[in-house]
Amino acid sequence: MNILEVEDLSMSFGGLQALRDINFAVPAGEILGIMGANGAGKTTLFGLIAGHARPTGGAIRFEGVRIDGLRPDKLSRAGIARTFQIVKPFAAMSVLDNVVVAALFGARRERRHAAAEARAREILAEVGLEARAGDLAASLTLSGQKRLEIARALATEPKLIMLDEVMAGLTATEVNEMLDAIRAIKARRTLTILIVEHVMRALMRLSDRILVLHHGEMIAEGPPATIAGDARVIEAYLGQEE
């Protein structure tokens, strides 16, 4: 069964067409990688699915129900979570409280504070932040804040999580740790993952399938091995020889 279906999705900002007629479907449990150069429309796509903007055309279905145009908090409640490429921590709150908020709201909607806190601590341990629980979120390094983004998204108890460049700016060691963490997180849950990444090697290793965007259009879709050899993808990435 497809958990997410995107049909003829288009988005323009004034005269700029950020996405044009995007069509794809994601079976439940899949890891779908989304590739594309800067400005290809990856983050716009996430924004539309998470409800941050209303598409100018097309439809988005989550578990068979139209969701385009719904507010982010409604979608979070329905089971869609995302991280932000430019991290948005609740800076003056503790690392723990950042995650507790998500457990109190989101799809989990934990009413009891103690239960929310216990859940938040478990999730912090999954992303390797348990030792920093009492520190202010602002005091984390970039790598730590990216992990916090993931922890916060997971604490909402999503069915679909969208990871927006969670490995950008990390060292090679940190990238490997992050890959392991994501795999372990996936193994423990029934989770569908959409992942946007510039670190190509990581994307190839993690994804079941890859979708390539170029100037707002979908130019390729398939398993990593096929994508790596696709002429249009290579052209889009490396440029055409004159």
Residues 39 to 58 in contact with other proteins, rule: CB under 8 A: 50, 52
State which residue, 136 or 168, has the beta carbon closest to other proteins. Answer: 136
Q: How far apart (Å, rounded) are the C-alpha atoms in residues 50 and 73? A: 9
Q: Residue 66 to residues 3, 54, 76, 221, 222: CA-CA distances in angstroms?
A: 12, 12, 15, 23, 25
* Residue 136 DSSP symbol: B
Q: Which of 8, 73, 180, 235 binds other proteins (CB under 8 A)?
A: 73
CB of 232 to other proteins, least distance (A): 33
Q: How far apart (Å, rounded) are the C-alpha atoms in residues 14 and 90? A: 31
CB of 233 to other proteins, least distance (A): 31
For 60, the enclosing helix (H) or strand (E) is strand 57-62
Q: Which of 54, 66, 113, 183 binds other proteins (CB under 8 A)?
A: 113
Can you name the residues that pair with 49 across neighbouring β-strands?
A: none
CB of 113 to other proteins, least distance (A): 7
State which residue, 82 or 147, has the beta carbon closest to other proteins. Answer: 82
Q: Return the closest-CA partner of residue 222 out of 29, 4, 24.
A: 24
Please tell me whether residue 90 binds other proteins under the rule CB under 8 A. Answer: yes
Please tell me whether residue 63 binds other proteins under the rule CB under 8 A. Answer: no
Can you name the residues that pair with 9 across neighbouring β-strands?
A: 22
CB of 63 to other proteins, least distance (A): 17
Q: How far apart (Å, rounded) are the C-alpha atoms in residues 11 and 40? A: 12
State which residue, 52 or 61, has the beta carbon closest to other proteins. Answer: 52
Q: Which of 42, 82, 146, 147 binds other proteins (CB under 8 A)?
A: 82
Q: What are phi and psi of 174, to 5 degrees?
A: -65, -35
Q: Which two tokens stand for residue 18?
A: 């950020």
Residues 150 to 169 in contact with other proteins, rule: CB under 8 A: 152-153, 155-156
Please tell me whether residue 89 binds other proteins under the rule CB under 8 A. Answer: yes
Q: How far apart (Å, rounded) are the C-alpha atoms in residues 137 and 86? A: 14
User: Which residues contact other proteins by CB under 8 A?
Assistant: 50, 52, 71-73, 76-77, 81-82, 84, 88-94, 96-97, 100-102, 104-107, 109, 111, 113, 134, 136, 152-153, 155-156
